[in-house]
Amino acid sequence: MPDISPNKPYRIGRSKTGLGLFATRKIKKGSKIIRYFGPMLDSRNKKHQDIDNKYLFEINNRWTIDGSVRKNIARYINHACRPNAESDVNTRKRKVVIRAVKTIHPGEEINYDYGTDYFKIFLKPIGCKCDHCEKKRAKKEADKRAEARAEKLRLKRKAEKKAAKDAAKPAKSKAVKTKAVKSKALKTKAVKTKAATAKSASKLARGKAGPHARGTGQPTRTKASRTKPLAGGAAAPSRKRASAI
């Protein structure tokens, strides 16, 4: 790790993505922090076209700074989607300076936006780990967990409601069944009563009466037939003799 002068307002330290550059004292908005430097690569030079690393800083279509050299402390500054610094590029002098876009307090990590191309090639595939993206990702995960809990609670309430409905259904069914049985019994009784009434009416229509009814049409014993003979043995005069007299 390269040595840093105590007069400099920054230090190299551990960050979420490995090493980073942190403020050691207050850095005011708009002030210069550090210069990004290294060998200049010419796009017209075929040898330079073969050089490829993640510390290349493109100034224009022709010139690019190779910031992979050890003395380039600015290479430790990490990317951020909501940075507290920016790269100030002087195309004519082919010079890049990192400046603060807001006040940076001691202990805060210094960062700037690497640009769209770098983000798509190096950061998007693995996911950006700057504070803004981390908070956004955490909020998304929290919302997802909240939705899962809400869905679980909804399904639980639905299951409880169904269970309560199923528990009340047998009692209701039993009551309906009892009512149906009673109705059937009353209907059967009414049918039997109606049949008995019709049978009685039919008997009366045919001239038949019950065994205890008067005028049954059956021959009865007369009073004479029920009278016992006298004690002297005399029999009652016959109807023929009486008529001869």
Domain ranges of the chain: 10-126, 130-190
Burial label for 89, CB within 10 Å (0-12, 13-18, 19+), is middle
Integer Rg of the chain from CA: 59
pLDDT (0 to 100) of residue 245: 37
In this predicted model, what pLDDT tens digit does every residue of 145-166 receive, in sequence order?
A: 999 999 999 999 999 888 888 8
Res. 226: pLDDT tops 70: no
pLDDT of residue 86: 96
Checking if the pLDDT of 101 tops 80, the result is: yes
C-alpha angle 45/73/31, rounded to 5°? 105
The tens digit of pLDDT for each residue in 110-133 reads 999 998 888 888 888 888 888 888
Strand locations in the chain (E): 10-15, 18-23, 32-36, 40-42, 56-58, 63-66, 78-79, 85-90, 95-100, 109-112
Percent of the chain with pLDDT over 70: 73
- Stated as kind and residue range, the H or E segment containing 203 is helix 131-205
- Residue 204's pLDDT band (boundaries 50, 70, 90)? low
Average pLDDT of the chain, as a whole number: 81
Fold of 10-126: Beta-clip-like (2.170.270)
Q: Which residue has better confidence, 185 or 210?
A: 185
The three-class DSSP label of residue 77 is: coil
Residue 212 confidence (pLDDT) above 50: no
Query: In this structure, what is the dihedral angle of CA atoms 91, 96, 98, 101, given to the nearest 10 degrees?
Result: 0
Residue 170 has pLDDT above 70, yes or no: no
* 243 confidence band (pLDDT: 50, 70, 90): very low
Average pLDDT over residues 9-25: 93
Question: What is the distance between the alpha carbons of residues 89 and 230, in angstroms, rounded to a whole number?
Answer: 167
Selected residue with higher pLDDT from 222 and 109: 109
Is a pLDDT exceeding 70 seen at residue 181? Answer: no
SS3 category, 46: helix
Q: What is the mean pLDDT of residues 214-226?
A: 50
